[in-house]
Amino acid sequence: MRNPATGVVVATVPRTTAAETDAAIDRAARAYGSWRRVAPADRARLLRRFAAVVDAHVEELAELEVRNAGHTIGNARWEAGNVRDVLDYYAGAPERLTGAQIPVPGGLDVTFHEPLGVVGVIVPWNFPMPIAAWGFAPALAAGNTVLLKPAELTPLTAIRLGELAREAGLPPDVLTVLPGRGGVVGEAFVAHPAVRKICFTGSTEVGTRIMAGCAAQVKRLTLELGGKSANLVFADADLERAAATAPYAVFDNAGQDCCARSRILVQRQVYDRFLELLEPAVKAFRVEDPALETAEMGPLISAGRRESVASYLDGAEIAFTGGCPEGPGFWYAPTVLLARSPAERHWREEIFGPVVSVLPFDDETEAVTLANDTEYGLSGSIWTRDVGRAIRVARGVEAGNLSVNSHSSVRYWTPFGGMKRSGLGRELGPDALHAFTDVKNVFLATDPPREEYGDDQ
């Protein structure tokens, strides 16, 4: 593993083989039989203990993520804290996983939420810690065992979380971390019949292949895939605030974020003024050693990612750029491009880097049309002082997560997921637990059969 800020090797991690993966799946399947029978209060207690152990190691995990993924230390602390908070949130779930009593004639009808079995969680390199917790916390709370495959580029914090789970008292093989290649470990998750569900976060291309593989076994699947989110700025908006916050909406984590607002749509009458306000905000954005407390953006994850991002600037009109360090590491300066039409490649494709495109629009109808003119539908922002417009546009934009006068996308209390090719299913929030269960209906006859009607069918 290389530190993205320096390019220096910081760790060597053995890859899990196909045979080791199959053996781990078999062990998780055996552990499931006992884990699902753990009393709800005891399962909740173990998850709270896991959260407490993570809390005691937040700084260690954050410093490890700086080396592991190049995240700024401030972001990394938030991410480690999010793991703790998500575990705490779902620690309350086992005792509240209630079914229903449904009125029926002739008896009592009740439903149960039964765990699925073994769940495979496949995590990307851009947010290794929180996305892992979004999968394993509700899955464990519901009574499933979990196999966690971190990305090949960023396995270190996942491995450490696995160690902390055991330290907290989770039984063996209830949460297992399997670093390795997607074509080996991930493919085994798809092919093995004992794995009953997969949670995958990553590219749309890989997600569609996983979906096709799961279809052969009717295997349950949650997908969180790509994004090309729009940031809509209307003429009546607080332009100063909209421009000041726009860099954080796209350059956070060096733009390596499916929720990045990488398309800014600005109403034409304030287009020039918005760009005047945006330029100093971009130039002031602090790109520096992610270990520094003052850092707002670190490096890209790899040299290959840097080359991919740079390719989008060929023939594009650059409005202005920020600065970044020179020398070792995979650095890239924040960049603002002017879109001459919505057909341009940098406007349409997910760049996954610190590059944002700006395009004017005339009215509300055109704004919604341009925002929806994409195969993605994950997130977005709407800037306006008009509450009616905010509601109309929010209902019109095809995205799973929208914020008005804000750029927030993820709150662990609320559902998160995409529309169109941005994904399938929802993570987080109170209902995520149900995605890791099957509903079982049970009818108990209480009345003797009535001859004139016969037994209920």
335-338 and 355-361 as β-strands: parallel, antiparallel, unpaired? parallel
**Helical axes 40-56 vs 73-91, angle rounded to 10°:** 160
Q: How far apart are CA 356 and CA 279, in angstroms?
A: 12
Q: How far apart are CA 419 and CA 16, in angstroms?
A: 33
- Annotation marks residue 224 as catalytic: yes
* Cβ-contact 151, 128 below 8 angstroms: yes
Q: Which residue has the tokens 């590491």?
A: 329
Among 199, 214, 258, 259, the one annotated catalytic? 258
Q: How far apart are CA 338 and CA 408, in angstroms?
A: 24
* Cβ-contact 254, 296 below 8 angstroms: no
Which residues have CB under 8 Å from 309's CB, separation 6+?
Answer: 255, 300, 332, 351, 352, 353, 354, 355
Among 65, 224, 350, 427, the one annotated catalytic? 224
- Annotation marks residue 324 as catalytic: no
Longest alpha-carbon distance in the chain:
88
Q: Would you name the residues annotated as active-site residues?
A: 224, 258
